[in-house]
Amino acid sequence: MRQIILDTETTGLEPSEGHRIIEIGCVELISRRPSNNRYQQYLNPEREIDQGAIEVHGITNEQLAGKPKFADIAQSLLDFIEGAELIIHNAPFDLGFLNSELSRMAKANGGKAVRIEDVSTVVDTLKLARGLHPGQKNDLDSLCKRYNVDNSHRTLHGALLDAEILADVYLAMTGGQAALFEDTHSHLKSATTSHVAATSDIRRLDPKRPKLPVIAPSVEELAAHADWLDELDMKSGGKCVWKKLELTS
């Protein structure tokens, strides 16, 4: 299975206001393992970058003056992602910009616009994270902290850097307890790194040890627990497993 982790940096927040893509970064996964195949392109947006955006990614107008335009690299990007499953954090944002660029290019050439969804399927990791962690922060930095992914080298946003970090987060988020045995920072390591299980001695408990006391919850605690399950069930769209278990017990 071929998957592409994709991210973009832009001149601003809204393609409907004429904002453009200035960097595209992609990381390839083959059968859930990072390959050495990367795609990165800086682009001349043919407009000024908002100061607020520069403060986020640090890319300036001067740096992009001699870079290619989106139309110059569009086919190479489509060839790279074609047939793959795209993994994007907050996919509507990046898809909105990419499809806007493709539409602008088609209008200039008098042709029919291609959409990213026409060449690839898309998984939104923000939507996935909200389903797994309802009511919690699910931005990339929060997910890095939750899944113990090192992002200390990320002082500014960057499309390729963020794609590499998202690759680690996605694999940890969808791989159960794989992180106990695998290197979760695979973009910094060789793909051939061996995975060695822990071999520490097993410490067995004394079968004659005293039984642990069981403290029953109070009425107030049970009510608070029920309220919390109701809130989780609502935020997860009726997918609270604990609530389902209580209803069947």
Ordered by start, the domain boundaries in the chain are 2-188, 219-248
The CATH H-level (homologous superfamily) assignment of domain 2-188 is Ribonuclease H-like superfamily/Ribonuclease H (3.30.420.10)
pLDDT at 249: 60
Stretches where the chain sits below pLDDT 70 are: 176-203, 248-249
Nearest to 21 by CA among 1, 57, 4: 57
Helix (H/G/I), strand (E/B), else coil: 7: strand
Res 186: pLDDT: 41
Cα torsion for 101, 107, 112, 117, to the nearest 10°?
Answer: 10
Q: What is the pLDDT of residue 201?
A: 54
The Cα-based distances of 197 to 45, 185, 202 in angstroms read 49, 17, 14
**pLDDT score, position 133:** 93
pLDDT for 131: 94
pLDDT digits 0-9 by tens, 222-238: 888 888 888 887 777 77
Active-site choice (19, 153, 157, 185)? 157
**Is there a catalytic annotation at residue 57?**
no
* pLDDT the model gives residue 245: 74
116 contacts 33 by C-beta, under 8 angstroms: no
Among 159, 157, 153, 151, smallest CA distance to 53 is for 157
pLDDT at 14: 95
